Amino acid sequence: MVVNNKVDSLSYDVEAPPQGAAAAAAAAPPAPPAPARHHAPAAPVTMREGAAVLELHKVSLPERRSTARALRQRLAEVFFPDDPLHQFKNQSSARRLVLALQYFFPIFQWGSAYSPRLLRSDLVAGLTIASLAIPQAHSSFVPPLIYSLLGSSRDLAVGPVSIASLVMGSMLREAVSPDEEPILYLQLAFTSTFFAGVFQASLGFLRLGFIVDFLSKATLTGFMGGAAIIVSLQQLKGLLGIVHFTSHMGFVDVMRSVFKRHDEWEWQTITMGTAFLAILLLTRQISARNPKLFWISAGAPLTSVIISTILSFIWKSHSISVIGILPRGVNPPSANMLTFSGSYVALTIKTGIMTGILSLTEGIAVGRTFASINNYQVDGNKEMMAIGIMNMAGSCASCYVTTGSFSRSAVNYSAGCKTAVSNIVMAAAVLVTLLFLMPLFHYTPNVILSAIIITAVVGLIDVRGAAKLWKVDKLDFLACMAAFLGVLLVSVQMGLAIAVGISLFKILLQVTRPNMVVKGLVPGTQSYRSVVQYREAVRVPSFLIVGVESAIYFANSMYLVERVMRFLRDEEERALKSNQSSIRCVVLDMSAVAAIDTSGLDALSELKKVLEKRNIELVLANPVGSVAERMFNSAVGELFGSERLFFSVAEAVAAGACKAQP
């Protein structure tokens, strides 16, 4: 039997010392000094209590680290959670060079193993996504080529996405009308794209990729739904053939404009648009019901364009507006259109950051989704750099903001793509179209493009997803609806800001009002669990065991003290009613307290003082490494001392029971 200081203090502290333990402690040889804290773990302490043997285990501390080392590890965890340098360990320098090259240009990694068999798959997939890309031709040429060099996802299909395009349009239109000043509008759009790229690449370079994690899925669901409706409403211009349309994006403005201009409604256009819209929505439904028929909805847009163009060419009706003359040829360089001075710099930077973060969020999420399906990893920060560089290059070649698009990547994946070569194939197909096929689109009616866009964006309205949120998490649903209504009724930026605010508020609320539970012993085990969750759990008489299920911070330290006092009051009332002995000991189960700050430490010592005044002992069970470390670095560690720190609730109860009961 090992007896050390701990047992001594345990026996001497007791008001009515238990005969057995006191005798044992007295009979034992003088206790050796307790082993130094940061060395090998102490052997368990055994206490003989009558016939029962109680074995106490010491709370250990993690190995002592220097401040610099602790800081380095913490920073590494924040900025390099994926440990990208792991593969460079224990390699020759030549090998490291190859690995570095492969790291920055993943094409060298998979390129060496590329085979005709893979090419066949990628060819089919590339042509399939090209058919989706042709309406936004320019932006689907340069960026996919760059991405195929730098990107680490095999399934991502690159192109402009509706959210980012919408936000860019909405933000720029507030300052400049694309109809009145088309050149200036283009300049601002390309400059914003450039800033978006710079912002994205710097986020990746600075390893701040975790910022996109703050856009929760709930937020995005609401945001996309609102954005989809806003975009659809804009298409009413084309679908109804209205000439004088509002330049505002809000729901109210657009609806007012639509009904004020009902004299401009064009019935031929409406008939044609509605018919094609119905067909497109039908093909979507068919593909959704039977995923094997994905090619029906994939091919429908291009087919609609061709058929409607032929119809319009035959009719030559003047009441249906057509695209007209399109610039033929490959992307014109637009580096000269980037403007970094003048009164619009702030606007373009703001627009760039906004669209940059939105397109990143979609791109990274899509890349991760398909990577997890196919069981490979994408490096978020590296992807950001790839997307950023792709947008910087794109802004110099007449491209708007591009990213990995969810719908296109899904088509790419289901068409059987194997590598980023499918992006190259798509770019080549777009190139051919740009060079030779553009005149064919002269008679394409604008109403068809509106129908295609509506079909594409209504898919973003995820009613089922919102219903799931309502079922599972009401606050998530609130964030979702706030984003939805904010985008629809106020503005795109405001909607996003409100939703992010609610998401952050939710986190802070959870931190401010952490879960705290009263625990009891589950019969047949040594485990203490919440008496609310496990109704069979039994409270230990004269003990109050409180589990704290959150880090203890300045934001909740006051609440913690108040909540424990309230539990104490309730438990004492309960004990009084059922004639049980009153509470003698409060055990804080710290298992779930991942961290503690200085205010938290102060709260613990305050709680101890307050309880002491009422002759109630406060002990802590199972503090985790960082918390134990911090306690011993402050005066609180001494206040509690090792005799009030226990390995587990069970041991705390066992040791505490020794003291309270003679």
Which of the ranges 21-29, 60-68, 146-154, 342-350 carries the binding residues for its own copies, by CB under 8 A?
A: 60-68
Contact between 248 and its own copies per CB under 8 A: no
For its own copies, the binding residue among 13, 181, 253, 562 (CB under 8 A) is 562
Contact between 419 and its own copies per CB under 8 A: no
Does residue 520 contact residue 538 with C-beta atoms inside 8 Å? yes
Contact between 377 and its own copies per CB under 8 A: yes
Contact between 527 and its own copies per CB under 8 A: yes
Contact between 206 and its own copies per CB under 8 A: no
Q: Nearer Cβ to its own copies, position 136 or 634?
A: 634
Shortest CB 209 distance to its own copies, Å: 10
Q: Nearer Cβ to its own copies, position 289 or 613?
A: 613
For its own copies, the binding residue among 610, 639, 643, 661 (CB under 8 A) is 610
For its own copies, the binding residue among 512, 580, 582, 661 (CB under 8 A) is 512
Contact between 626 and its own copies per CB under 8 A: yes
Which contacts qualify for 524-533: CB closer than 8 Å, 24 or more apart? 526/648, 526/650, 527/650, 528/589, 528/649, 528/650, 528/653
d(CA 453, CA 457): 6
C-alpha angle 458-388-87 in degrees, rounded to nearest 5: 110
For its own copies, the binding residue among 13, 83, 179, 638 (CB under 8 A) is 83
Contact between 106 and its own copies per CB under 8 A: no
Q: Nearer Cβ to its own copies, position 286 or 575?
A: 575
Contact between 505 and its own copies per CB under 8 A: no
Q: DSSP for 510-552?
A: HHHS--EEEEEEPTTSS-EEETTT-TT-BPPTTEEEEEE-S-B
Q: Nearer Cβ to its own copies, position 432 or 538?
A: 538
Does residue 602 contact residue 558 with C-beta atoms inside 8 Å? no
Which of the ranges 79-87, 151-159, 189-197, 405-413 carries the binding residues for its own copies, by CB under 8 A?
A: 79-87
Contact between 213 and its own copies per CB under 8 A: yes
CA distances, 17 to each of 7, 47, 49, 341, 579 (Å): 12, 14, 11, 83, 25
Q: Nearer Cβ to its own copies, position 264 or 606?
A: 606
CA distances, 265 to each of 237, 253, 324, 489, 634 (Å): 9, 17, 21, 25, 75
Spell 570-593 as b/e; 16+ CB within 10 A means b.
Answer: ebbeebeeeeeeebbbbbbbbbeb
CA torsion sign for 5, 9, 12, 16 is negative
d(CA 401, CA 193): 5
Provide the CB-side half-sphere exposure for 70 (13 A, CA): 10
Contact between 249 and its own copies per CB under 8 A: no
Q: Nearer Cβ to its own copies, position 489 or 507?
A: 507
Contact between 554 and its own copies per CB under 8 A: yes
Nearest to 419 by CA among 82, 159, 99, 113: 113
Contact between 565 and its own copies per CB under 8 A: yes
Shortest CB 573 distance to its own copies, Å: 10
Shortest CB 625 distance to its own copies, Å: 4
Q: Nearer Cβ to its own copies, position 188 or 498?
A: 498
Angle between helices 162-173 and 446-458 (to 10 degrees): 120
For its own copies, the binding residue among 375, 464, 577, 578 (CB under 8 A) is 375
Shortest CB 118 distance to its own copies, Å: 20
Footprint on residues 469-488 left by its own copies (CB under 8 A): 469, 471-476
Provide the token pair at 282.
């039908």
Contact between 609 and its own copies per CB under 8 A: yes
Does residue 612 contact residue 604 with C-beta atoms inside 8 Å? no
d(CA 585, CA 621): 12
